[in-house]
């Protein structure tokens, strides 16, 4: 087996960092929760990572047409079929938490999620939840938005395709936190795959603010504020000012 040189490894890691493009540690990211999911967050103190195969986007983890064509031309149909089987398999063993990067509230996100609660945090606080594991690969970074028909997706590592999405989703400005099962023997992967993964949160330390939807009814907002305080959570809770009338 060929041994990778130190220089090759360095170049490989630099290339991966160019793909992941992680935000600055103090960059703000947002996750928008429906009420029931927000209450689960409060009571469980856990951040949930959903299985990639459960997402609506059928292209989650896909290689894109250009990369598929390159695999076929360079390695043949046998490798192409093996890569397809790997793609299908790893979708069941890849788990993602999706966040929106923005210094401020996003009108587009409020319209997308409706009467939600936005959880605001610093990128580094969520990244630090991805503790080392012998049986899992964990990474985080910005999503790359590309034309899947013409642009090439880096498939050198099994997790990299999950940091690409079609350009139609560019408005999401997504930052992803990924956990992927990793075993040296295919037979050692858990069967069936677990439905989700979680990471333990210290809400008062790891999160910065809760922001309530600008269209939320006042009595619902009051109830949420009470629940948060009764749960012993000290971080600020405020109502969105996005629809406030200007003051003259």
Per-residue pLDDT 10s for the chain (248 aa) are 567 688 877 888 888 889 999 999 999 999 999 999 999 999 999 999 999 999 999 999 999 998 888 888 888 988 888 888 999 999 999 999 999 999 999 999 999 999 999 999 999 999 999 999 999 999 999 999 999 999 989 888 999 999 999 999 999 999 999 999 999 998 999 999 999 999 999 999 999 999 999 999 999 999 999 999 999 999 999 999 999 999 99
User: How would you classify the pairing of strands 174-181 and 136-142?
Assistant: antiparallel
Please tell me the total number of residues recorded for the chain in this structure.
Answer: 248
pLDDT of residue 2: 62
- C-beta of residue 248 within 8 angstroms of C-beta of residue 116: no
Strand partners for 94: 180
Exposure on the CB side of residue 182, measured as CA atoms within 13 A: 14
* pTM summary value: 0.92
Tell me whether residue 5 is in a domain.
no
Question: Is 14 inside any structural domain?
Answer: no
- How many Å is the Cα radius of gyration of the chain? 20
Domain-embedded: residue 12: no
Q: Give the Cα separation of 104 and 198 in Å (integer).
A: 27
- Burial of residue 15 (number of CB atoms within 10 Å: 0-12, 13-18, 19+): middle
Q: List phi, psi (to 5°) of 22.
A: -60, 140
Counting the structural domains of the chain, the total is 1
Pair of tokens at residue 225: 């504020």
Q: Would 248 be classed as within a structural domain?
A: no
Name the DSSP letter for residue 244. P
User: Has residue 174 been placed in a domain?
Assistant: yes
Q: Which segments of the chain does DSSP mark as H helices, in order?
A: 6-20, 35-44, 65-75, 77-91, 107-113, 123-127, 203-206, 218-230
* Six-digit token string for 23: 């935000």
pLDDT of 152 reads: 87
C-alpha to C-alpha distance for 72 and 115, rounded to whole angstroms: 47
Neighbouring residues of 166: CB distance < 8 A, sequence distance ≥ 6: 57, 59, 145, 146, 147, 148
Nearest to 148 by CA among 172, 170, 128: 170
Identify the domain containing residue 215 by its residue range. Answer: 22-239
Task: Let me know if residue 244 belongs to a domain.
Answer: no
Share in percent of the chain as helix, strand, coil (round to 5) = 40, 25, 40
Residue 16 lies in a domain: no
Give dist(CA 61, CA 6) in Å, integer. 29
- Output the six-digit token pair for 158: 């099994």
* Residue 8 belongs to a domain: no
């Amino acid at each position: 087996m060929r041994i990778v040189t130190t220089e090759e490894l360095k170049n490989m890691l630099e290339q991966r960092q160019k793909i992941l493009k992680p935000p600055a540690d103090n960059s703000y990211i947002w996750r928008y929760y429906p009420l029931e999911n927000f209450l689960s967050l409060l009571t469980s103190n856990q951040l949930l990572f959903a299985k990639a195969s459960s997402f609506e986007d059928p292209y989650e983890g896909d290689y894109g047409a250009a990369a598929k064509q390159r695999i076929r031309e360079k390695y043949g149909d046998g490798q192409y079929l093996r890569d397809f089987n790997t793609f299908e398999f790893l979708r069941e063993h890849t788990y993602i938490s999706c966040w929106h990067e923005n210094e401020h509230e996003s009108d587009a996100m409020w319209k997308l999620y409706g009467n939600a609660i936005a959880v605001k945090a610093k990128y580094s606080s969520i990244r630090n939840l991805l503790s080392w594991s012998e049986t899992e690969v964990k990474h985080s970074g910005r999503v790359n938005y590309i034309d899947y028909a013409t642009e090439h997706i880096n498939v050198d590592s099994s997790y990299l395709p999950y940091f690409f999405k079609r350009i139609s989703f560019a408005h999401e400005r997504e930052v992803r936190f990924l956990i992927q099962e990793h075993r040296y023997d295919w037979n050692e992967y858990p069967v069936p795959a677990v439905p989700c993964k979680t990471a333990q949160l210290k809400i008062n330390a790891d999160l910065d603010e809760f922001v309530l939807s600008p269209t939320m009814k006042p009595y619902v907002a009051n109830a949420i504020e009470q629940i948060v305080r009764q749960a012993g959570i000290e971080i600020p809770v405020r109502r969105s000012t996005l629809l406030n009338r200007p003051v003259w």
